[in-house]
């Protein structure tokens, strides 16, 4: 369990995924990637296998969110594991592509 | 959050792509990342608190933006058209800092800002060429520690153009710019062959926003430091440019040149997207441009410095619908700025009591969203308790949620207690076939407080009399909105980024009176 701050960088303990918190929930949550709790970007990954139930992968540049919309996570490096908060899988935030304006 | 994270992702995913190109000189995404790290190491001297850049667009510009973000110091692009006196006032707000500028200015200003008597604790003035050599040298030492991810760090200080007063520095924090990029740009959304032609000066918010968004999309940016219609077309054709942003005066010049060339179309089939903003686009110019660039998607972007660039868009389909529709309400949307971004809320408020106004009613445009800063240095945040920013632009929303601008509220004409917007009267004048451009202002009047006056630029070869134009307005608006005075000028005064200088028109009419 942890309370996150916007801007915090994290990584998966079990795959190559790297993440940044875009919107942080104002509550204690357990954020997992590949089924294992995520760790600080600078920390040494303990290793281990990706849980087959959490193996849909992360895609670089995609933002992931929950049904409540109170958490948003940017994938800054892709990996095999997928994201979940308190056991519930996060979904890719659907964004209608906008025409280039600058 | 930090702009550097955006560049790190780009360098990691497509490091070999060309990021920026200036003439024959290029930087790949990886080279840009490395150079930013080298610059950040140079800035790590325990004293430097700002990085100012007084220069046209060069490869030093993106290195400066990202290197400053890595080092955690605000980046301040300065307007190179200002006089030395005006610049002094800005630079003195950036102490202790470093200034990067062109060779000529660097030698002239070095003593000035380097000496304790004049510049106080200003750290140094350096030339762009020396900076580029230092940060691009093979083996240049890079900053070893990572950049801060504090969303509240200041990324950019941008002095607003000051058409209404002394320049003040808008504070754009990392969270505003990163939110803007994440909310509006698809990571690696560009094809490797895409090329974007950038001719907006660095001190304009559109220039800053374009750097961040093009890096995230993986596009190659070709810098055009000094705009002329000839070089713009030449580079666009030669480099098979796919995307470009122009201000209205630039598009007007491009259209003029193409018409003078006598071409039915621009011969630029590579150009997929042309966006414009930064001022009011005359309807005749955009209509001609759409004919000259038949394959091109047009997008009108409305934004402010204080909102980290674009907050509303009139997209390509909106343009085509407006041109083709039999419905007058849809056709009018060609002069709107489109609909607010999905990540931004817009509310039209009563200027007197601040209550939200219904659809169709004119008031002050308020905006709210993650990208909205609304903060000036030394003045703090101007957002209200609910996070709304008063743009001080007047406007209204139509039934479809399209936003129409009516100019700065400071420009509102008050005639006999009736408030009227110059934009509404200008729009009507511009629908007359002989009118190329128009500026409406209030002039002092003994009877009414203010009277409506118009300056009109006639289209080449066309004629219209004062009484004819007065009747034209009277037939379409209330008679109180009919200009009592109309003058014909060969052109209207604009600043270099396409903003109409009403102040100059006002001064000229006052002198004539």
CA-nearest residue to B174 within chain A is: A7
Annotate B235-246 with DSSP letters as a single string: HHHHTT--EEEE
| DSSP string for residues in B349-417 | E-TTT-PBPPTT--EEEEEEETT---EETTTEE---TTS-EEEEEEEEE-TT--EEEEEEGGG-EEETT
Give the pairing of strands B273-277 and B297-304.
Answer: parallel
Does residue A94 sit at the B interface (CB-CB below 8 Å)?
A: no
User: Residue A52 falls within a domain, yes or no?
Assistant: yes
Which of B36-40, B143-147, B483-487, B494-498 is the least confident region?
A: B494-498
Q: How far apart are CA B478 and CA B459, in angstroms?
A: 25
Q: What domains, with CATH codes, occur in chain B?
A: 22-172 (3.40.50.12780), 412-512 (3.30.300.30)
Copy the structure tokens of residue B444.
């002092």
Mean local confidence (pLDDT), B439-449: 86
Answer whether B172's CB lies under 8 Å from B467's CB.
Answer: no
What is the pLDDT, as a whole number, of residue A95? 67
Number of structural domains found in chain A: 1
Is residue A97 a part of any domain in this protein? no
Chain centre distance of CA B369: 19
What does the mean pLDDT of chain B come to? 90
Query: Across the interface, do B182 and A74 touch by the CB < 8 Å criterion?
Result: yes
Residues B52-86: tens digit of each pLDDT = 999 999 999 999 999 999 999 999 999 888 877 77
Identify the bridge partners of residue B456 per DSSP, sorted by sequence position. Answer: B438, B488
CA-nearest of B422, B440, B444 to B486 is B440
Asked if residue A4 belongs to a domain, the reply is no
Given 3-state DSSP classes, what are the helix, strand and coil percentages for chain B, each rounded to the nearest 5? 35, 25, 35
pTM for the complete prediction?
Answer: 0.85
Q: Is A77 inside a domain boundary?
A: yes
Is residue B120 pLDDT above 60, yes or no? no
User: Hey, is the C-beta of A27 within 8 angstroms of any chain B C-beta?
Assistant: no
Distance from the Cα of A16 to chain B's closest Cα (Å) equals: 13
CA of B198: how far to CAs of B65, B208, B290, B366, B367, in Å?
Answer: 16, 11, 20, 29, 27
Q: What's the confidence (pLDDT) of residue B119?
A: 46
Q: Provide, as residue numbers in chain B, all residues whose Cβ is less than 8 Å from the Cβ of A9.
A: 5, 149
Expressed as residue numbers, the domain containing A22 is 9-92
What angle do helix axes B248-261 and B229-238 make, rounded to 10 degrees?
80
Q: Is the pLDDT of residue B165 over 60?
A: no
- A11 to chain B, any CB pair closer than 8 A? The answer is no
Q: Put the strands of the sheet holding B389-397 in their side by side order.
A: B344-349, B363-369, B389-397, B403-408
Let me know if residue A64 belongs to a domain.
yes
How confident is the model at residue B113, as a pLDDT?
65
Residue B317 Cα distances to A97, B186, B193, B313, B329, angstroms: 14, 20, 24, 11, 15
Please say if the pLDDT value at position B221 is more than 50: yes
pLDDT of residue B116: 47
User: Is residue A14 assigned to a domain?
Assistant: yes
Question: How confident is residue B174, by pLDDT bands cut at 50, 70 and 90?
Answer: very high
CB A43: neighbour CB atoms within 10 A? 11
Q: Distance between CA atoms of B4 and B13, rounded to whole angstroms?
A: 14
Other C-beta atoms closer than 10 Å to the C-beta of A70 total 14
Chain A residues touching residue B151 (CB < 8 angstroms): 6-7
CA B99 vs. chain centroid, Å, equals 23
* Closest CA–CA distance from residue B211 to any residue of chain A (Å): 9
Q: What mean pLDDT do residues B427-432 have?
A: 90
**More confident: B117 or A27:** A27
pLDDT bracket for residue B190 (50, 70, 90)? very high
Best of B185, B317, B338 to disrupt the A interface by mutation (most A CBs within 10 Å)? B185
Interface membership of A92 toward B (CB under 8 Å): no
pLDDT digits (tens, 9 = 90+) for B79-113: 888 877 778 888 888 888 899 999 888 888 877 76
Which residues of chain A neighbour B342 with C-beta distances below 8 Å?
95-96
The per-residue pLDDT for range B474-511, each reduced to its tens digit, is 998 878 889 999 999 999 998 877 778 888 898 888 87
A76: chain B residues, CB-CB within 8 Å: 5, 8-9
Mean pLDDT of B196-201: 94
The answer to whether residue A1 is domain-embedded is: no
- Confidence grade of residue B117 (pLDDT, cut at 50, 70, 90): very low
> Are the CB atoms for B174 and B3 separated by under 8 Å?
yes
B10 and A CB contact within 8 Å? no
User: Residue B396's pLDDT is what?
Assistant: 95
For residue A58, which residues of chain B lie inside 8 Å, CB to CB? Answer: none
If DSSP codes are grouped into helix, strand and coil, which group holds residue A39? strand
Q: Is B316 on the interface with A (CB under 8 A)?
A: yes
Task: Count other Cβ atoms within 10 Å, centred on residue B131.
Answer: 25
Instruction: Give the Cα separation of B298 and B247 in Å (integer).
Output: 13
In this prediction, residue A21 has a pLDDT band, given cuts at 50, 70 and 90, of: very high
Which chain A positions have a beta carbon within 8 Å of B202's beta carbon? none
Q: What is the pLDDT of residue B118?
A: 44
**B465, two tokens:** 């009399």
């Amino acid at each position: 369990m942890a309370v996150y701050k916007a801007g915090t960088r994290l990584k998966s303990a079990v795959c190559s995924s790297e993440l940044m918190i875009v919107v942080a929930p104002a509550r204690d949550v357990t954020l997992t990637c590949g089924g294992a709790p995520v760790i600080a970007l600078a920390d040494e990954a303990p290793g281990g296998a990706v849980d087959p139930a959490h193996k849909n992968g992360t895609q670089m540049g995609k933002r992931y969110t929950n049904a409540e919309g109170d958490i948003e996570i940017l994938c800054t490096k892709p990996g095999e594991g997928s994201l979940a908060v308190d056991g519930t899988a996060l979904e890719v935030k659907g964004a209608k592509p906008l025409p280039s304006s600058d | 959050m930090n702009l550097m994270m955006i560049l790190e992702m780009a360098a990691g995913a497509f490091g070999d792509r060309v990021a920026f190109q200036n003439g024959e000189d290029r930087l790949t995404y990886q080279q840009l990342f490395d150079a930013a790290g080298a610059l950040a190491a140079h800035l790590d001297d325990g004293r430097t608190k700002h990085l100012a850049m007084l220069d046209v667009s060069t490869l030093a510009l993106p290195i400066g933006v990202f290197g400053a973000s890595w080092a955690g110091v605000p980046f301040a692009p300065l307007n190179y058209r200002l006089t030395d006196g005006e610049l002094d006032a800005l630079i003195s707000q950036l102490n202790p800092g470093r200034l990067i500028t062109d060779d000529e200015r660097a030698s002239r200003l070095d003593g000035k800002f380097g000496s304790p008597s004049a510049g106080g604790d200003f750290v140094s003035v350096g030339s762009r060429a020396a900076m580029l050599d230092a940060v691009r040298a093979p083996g240049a030492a890079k900053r070893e520690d990572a950049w801060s991810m504090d969303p509240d760090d200041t990324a950019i200080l941008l002095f607003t153009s000051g058409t209404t007063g002394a320049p003040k520095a808008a504070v754009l924090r990392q969270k505003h710019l990163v939110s803007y990029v994440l909310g509006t740009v698809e990571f690696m959304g560009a094809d490797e062959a895409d090329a974007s032609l950038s001719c907006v000066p660095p001190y304009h918010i559109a220039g800053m926003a374009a750097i961040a968004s093009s890096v995230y999309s993986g596009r190659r940016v070709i810098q055009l430091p000094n705009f002329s219609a000839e070089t713009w077309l030449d580079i666009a054709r030669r480099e098979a440019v796919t995307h470009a942003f122009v201000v209205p005066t630039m598009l007007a010049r491009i259209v003029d040149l193409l018409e003078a060339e006598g071409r039915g179309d621009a011969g630029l089939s590579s150009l997929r997207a042309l966006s414009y903003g930064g001022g009011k686009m005359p309807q005749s110019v955009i209509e001609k441009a759409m004919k000259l660039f038949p394959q091109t998607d047009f997008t009108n972007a409305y934004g402010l410095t204080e909102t980290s660039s674009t907050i509303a868009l009139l997209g390509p389909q909106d343009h085509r619908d407006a041109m083709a529709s039999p419905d007058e309400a849809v056709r009018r949307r060609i002069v709107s700025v489109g609909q607010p971004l999905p990540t931004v809320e817009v509310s039209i408020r009563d200027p007197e009591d601040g209550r939200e106004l219904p659809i169709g009613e004119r008031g002050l445009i308020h905006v709210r969203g993650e990208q909205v800063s609304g903060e000036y240095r030394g003045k703090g945040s101007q957002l209200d308790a609910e996070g709304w920013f008063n743009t001080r632009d007047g406007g209204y929303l139509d039934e479809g949620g399209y936003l129409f601008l009516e100019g700065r509220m400071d420009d509102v004409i008050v005639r006999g207690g009736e408030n009227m917007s110059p934009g509404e009267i200008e729009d009507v004048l511009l629908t007359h076939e002989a009118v190329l451009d128009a500026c409406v202002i209030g002039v002092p009047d003994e009877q009414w407080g203010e009277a409506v006056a118009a300056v009109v630029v006639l289209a080449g070869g066309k004629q219209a009399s004062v009484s004819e134009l007065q009747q034209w307005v009277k037939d379409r608006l209330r008679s109180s909105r009919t200009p009592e005075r109309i003058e014909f000028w060969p052109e209207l005064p604009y600043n270099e980024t396409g903003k109409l200088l009403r102040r100059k028109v006002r001064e000229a009419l006052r002198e004539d009176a």
